[in-house]
Amino acid sequence: MASAFEGPDGPFVYARYGNPTVRALENAVADLEGGAGALAVGSGMGAITSTLWALLRPGDHVVAQNCLYGGTQGVLGDLRERWGVDVTPVAAGDPEQVRAAIRPNTRVLFLETIVNPTGEVVDLPRLAAMAREAGVTTVVDNTFATPLLCRPIEHGADVVVHSATKYLGGHSDVIGGLMVFADAATRLAVQERTAEFGAVLDPFAAWLIVRGLQTLGVRVPRQCASAQVLAERLAGHSAVAAVHYPGLPDHPGHGDARRLLSGGFGGVLSFELAGGLRAGRAFVGAVRLASLAPSLGDVKTLVMHPASTSHRQLSAERLAQAGIAEGLIRVSVGIEDVEDLWADIEQALKAAERHH
């Protein structure tokens, strides 16, 4: 019996340390991402928090993309207050700004493949190489891109995190998170922490995510194609002040997106309504086919207002730094017919124009 507890990859004798269904999910996602191994936990935030807690110590320093998901920024802020971990936000689209931010005590560079909700895409290979040269671990949140569009480990990332609640699960009926590692040693170090925290994924949730993976290759290409069509049409609409989607040639990250992503530019787009806050509220209140929900990656189209949901923790100053306007609407495109989606968006835009 004692030998069964000696290592994380031994017999499955205690579910907090491993389960056959959870391990099957971990192996599948590790294969999809091209990693040496993976760990599944109870949520995407569980994956992010477990990774950071395992990699950081009091007094360490983190360089973080300045427009990360609000929950990630919340964890970094908590680490600053509780552990004295210093965090430097950077415009990661400027590699020299990232280089200048790295210090002798920098331990982590945290990036997103496609930024929520502005669609920013950075030169990941260059940034990861810069971090590796300085002995810094690169952690990449690949939730928006999925391994179908980008495999960050192939571009130099050390750890990839996912909210499996989103595209990997694909149906908004399960909560889970994944961490994928470029090397087995990092996986072991993080696994020790997750087992201690109890941030485990239950087997049925793992089964639901495995089920979702079976249709990932069908869902994501359709969502990307529809998002491209909608972004192009929104860009020419009188009620829209700006569209943020890396598939548009005038998007500031378009060049990096073309080099980094393959098979599409993601299924999420955002746009700013000319009427600001009132127009934004009118728009989300008028959609009929789409649903108002603070999630993404579902087979059903979801719309949301980031300033009052995912980024609600941020001050007005940080919202501005993240490029989130009062009238910003995020759309996670589902698998519905694109013409039906456009008809719904058009009628909601008319409602928004009446509140301009």
pLDDT, position 277 = 82
pLDDT, position 183 = 97
pLDDT, one tens digit per residue, over 114-139 is 998 889 999 999 999 999 999 999 99
Tell which phi-psi region holds residue 185, choosing left (phi > 0), alpha (psi between -120 and 50) or beta. Answer: alpha
Structure tokens at 86: 């210093």
For the domain covering 2-211, report its CATH number: 3.40.640.10
Confidence of residue 9 (pLDDT cuts 50, 70, 90): low
CA distance 260 to 253: 10
Whether pLDDT at 17 is above 90? no
- Dihedrals φ, ψ of 272, to 5°? -105, 125
pLDDT, position 8 = 54
CA nearest to 303, candidates 280, 267, 330, 339: 330
Confidence of residue 324 (pLDDT cuts 50, 70, 90): confident
Q: Are 229 and 338 in contact (CB under 8 A)?
A: yes
Confidence of residue 7 (pLDDT cuts 50, 70, 90): low
Among all residues, which ones are annotated catalytic?
16, 69, 141, 166
Kindly report the pTM of this predicted structure.
0.93
pLDDT, one tens digit per residue, over 45-61 is 999 999 999 999 999 99
CA distance 148 to 145: 7
Mean pLDDT of the chain: 93
Q: Are 198 and 42 in contact (CB under 8 A)?
A: no
CA distance 173 to 187: 27
Q: What's the fold here for domain 217-354?
A: Aspartate Aminotransferase, domain 1 (3.90.1150)
Confidence of residue 151 (pLDDT cuts 50, 70, 90): very high
Confidence of residue 204 (pLDDT cuts 50, 70, 90): very high
In the chain, CATH 3.90.1150.10 covers 217-354
Q: What is the mean pLDDT of residues 292-308?
A: 91
Whether pLDDT at 2 is above 60? no
In the chain, CATH 3.40.640.10 covers 2-211
> Which segment of 66-80, 243-257, 260-274, 287-301 scores lowest on mean pLDDT?
66-80
CA nearest to 33, candidates 168, 205, 165, 200: 168
Q: Are 247 and 257 in contact (CB under 8 A)?
A: yes
Whether pLDDT at 1 is above 60? no
